[in-house]
Amino acid sequence: MGSKEIENFDILQWWKNKVNTYPVIAFMARDLLIIQPSIIASESTFSLSCRILNERRSRLSDESLEICICYKNHLDAMKRRQHVASIKDSSSEVEDEPSGLNLAGEDQT
């Protein structure tokens, strides 16, 4: 790849094209690559690092620690993942305002 090809390379599109070949990795790549680096909070983002770092594992490099944390977060997210269809179905059942209450929370009865 030349420097112009590298500049114009769309990594998100590449992973989108490879989703059938590498489904799990493509899913993880999408999750990680869509995050803008400027919005990543510093230590608070990695608050579970205290659970990963202990005396035995304290020799992990920064990069290895970050990989462990990202992988753990990805696994946790898959456990609690909600499907958009089920959310849309249940949203039709939700009223804009509960009967008998207004937006200020005052009883209207």
pLDDT, mean over the chain: 67
Which runs of E-coded beta strand occur in the chain? none
Alpha-carbon span 14 to 12, nearest angstrom: 5
pLDDT (tens digit, 9 = 90+) per residue, 49-91? Answer: 555 556 555 666 777 777 777 887 777 777 766 554 554 554 4
Q: pLDDT tier at 21 (50, 70, 90 boundaries)? A: very high
Residue type, position 14, single letter? W
